[in-house]
């Protein structure tokens, strides 16, 4: 078997075209959805991610602004910058690009973002709503993975989904979304003994461990959907996923590549969350 490759760029374009009429309706009502990104320091990787997010927003007609702060800024300066965006009516979504410099309490900063503008979905209240099956704003990477699976028409109800990775940003919220769709979900991590015993029984395998080539073809159930969330910078400067693409491709039914897979979906779902946040905020103002 040779897997069908899940093209994140193509699926992201479909997400964007689905947003066009919603953005047009908002703009007709005098609302231009706005995303603000807070970027602390000058990490080249973060600068690239932020630029990609900004570009995607502008492509769909959103307003995108970046609030840059120096690497040595204080936590209170950062909190003040977030608070100014919380009360700015032109801004409907706020993200603070991670990681933050040492010495800054990331959780305190993330929890200070207004709930209705938390388009990363990292606020404990938004994560809690997801736990209880009433999602409000959901983290973008898990949303992007679900969108990819749906795009490929992959059934989830009654299937075994294995997630490798237990972060609050990807693994845990994704497990909740899969549970909500009727999958039987196992959450592993890179230290799980005999990881292959789990992965070989997975109809859907999502790998978000941050370990290059952790999953090889011999660990994949024939015909399974394999979604690679890993983005690892290798010593030669190239990007590699957590899945060994070539060996997995020979076994899986569907496989997402790195780059060009989930990364594109994360950005698309951030734009989608910003549009959703703008719709809700403008409806709340009209009520
Ligand atoms: N850094 C790496 N991924 C992310 C993300 O999804 N959101 C934010 N805010 N920072 C990140």
| pLDDT exceeds 90 at position 248 | yes
Q: How large is the average pLDDT for residues 3-14?
A: 98
Query: How far, in Å, is the centroid of ligand 1 from the Cα of 168?
Result: 12
**Do 73 and 32 touch, CB atoms closer than 8 A?**
no
Query: How far, in Å, is the centroid of ligand 1 from the Cα of 144?
Result: 13
Dihedral sign, Cα of residue 106, residue 272, residue 175, residue 195: negative
Q: What residue ranges in the chain does DSSP mark as E strands? A: 4-5, 34-40, 63-69, 93-96, 160-164, 184-188, 204-207, 225-228, 232-233, 239-240, 254-255
Token pair for 259: 């780059």
High-pLDDT (> 90) share of the chain, %: 97
Cα–Cα distance for residue pair 63/201, rounded to 1 Å: 45
Which of 37, 44, 52, 97 most suits a substitution to test ligand 1, by most atoms within 8 Å of the C-beta? 97
Cα–Cα distance for residue pair 96/93, rounded to 1 Å: 10
Cα–Cα distance for residue pair 272/278, rounded to 1 Å: 10
Cα–Cα distance for residue pair 117/222, rounded to 1 Å: 42
In this structure, the residue with its CA closest to atom 4 of ligand 1 is 98
pLDDT at 236: 93
Pairing relation of β-strands 232-233 and 239-240? antiparallel
**Do 212 and 240 touch, CB atoms closer than 8 A?**
yes
**Do 19 and 147 touch, CB atoms closer than 8 A?**
no
Shortest-distance atom of ligand 1 to CA 99: 1
Query: How far, in Å, is the centroid of ligand 1 from the Cα of 251?
Result: 31
Query: How far, in Å, is the centroid of ligand 1 from the Cα of 97?
Result: 5
At 287, the pLDDT band (50, 70, 90 cuts) reads: confident
Q: Which of 9-18, 99-108, 120-129, 278-287 has the lowest mean pLDDT?
A: 278-287
The ligand 1 site (C-beta within 6 Å) comprises 95-98, 120, 140, 266
Domains in the chain and their CATH numbers?
30-114 (3.40.50.10860), 140-263 (3.40.50.720)
In this structure, the residue with its CA closest to atom 3 of ligand 1 is 98
List, for residues 104-156, the tens digit of each pLDDT value: 999 999 999 999 999 999 999 999 999 999 999 999 999 999 999 999 999 99
Residue owning tokens 């029984």 = 201
Residues serving a catalytic function are 53, 97, 120
List, for residues 159-204, the tens digit of each pLDDT value: 999 999 999 999 999 999 999 999 999 999 989 999 999 999 999 9
In this structure, the residue with its CA closest to atom 2 of ligand 1 is 98
Q: How far apart are the first and last CA of the chain?
A: 55
């Amino acid at each position: 078997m040779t897997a069908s490759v899940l093209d994140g760029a193509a699926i992201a374009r479909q997400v964007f075209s689905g947003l066009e009429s919603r953005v047009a309706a908002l703009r007709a009502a005098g609302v231009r959805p706005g995303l603000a990104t807070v970027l602390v320091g000058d990490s080249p990787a973060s600068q690239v991610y932020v630029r990609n997010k900004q570009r995607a927003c502008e492509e769909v007609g959103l307003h995108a602004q970046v609030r840059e702060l120096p690497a040595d800024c204080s936590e209170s300066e950062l909190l003040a910058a977030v608070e100014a965006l919380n009360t700015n009516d032109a801004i409907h979504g706020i993200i603070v690009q991670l990681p933050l410099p040492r010495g800054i309490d990331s959780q305190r900063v993330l929890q200070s973002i207004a709930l209705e503008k938390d388009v990363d979905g990292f606020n404990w209240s938004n994560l809690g709503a997801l736990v209880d099956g009433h999602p409000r704003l959901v983290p973008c990477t898990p949303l992007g993975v679900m969108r990819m699976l749906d795009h490929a028409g992959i059934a989830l109800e009654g299937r075994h989904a294995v997630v490798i990775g237990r972060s609050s940003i990807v693994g845990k919220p994704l497990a909740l979304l899969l549970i909500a769709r009727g999958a039987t979900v196992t959450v592993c991590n890179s230290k799980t003994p005999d990881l292959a015993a789990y992965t070989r029984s997975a109809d859907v395998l999502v790998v978000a461990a941050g370990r290059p080539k952790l999953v090889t073809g011999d660990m994949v159930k024939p015909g399974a959907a394999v979604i690679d969330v890993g983005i690892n910078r290798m010593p030669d400067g190239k990007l590699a996923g957590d899945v060994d693409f070539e060996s997995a491709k020979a076994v899986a039914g569907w496989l997402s590549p790195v780059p060009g897979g989930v990364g594109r979906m994360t950005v698309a779902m951030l734009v989608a969350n910003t549009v959703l946040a703008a719709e809700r905020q403008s409806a709340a103002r009209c009520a």
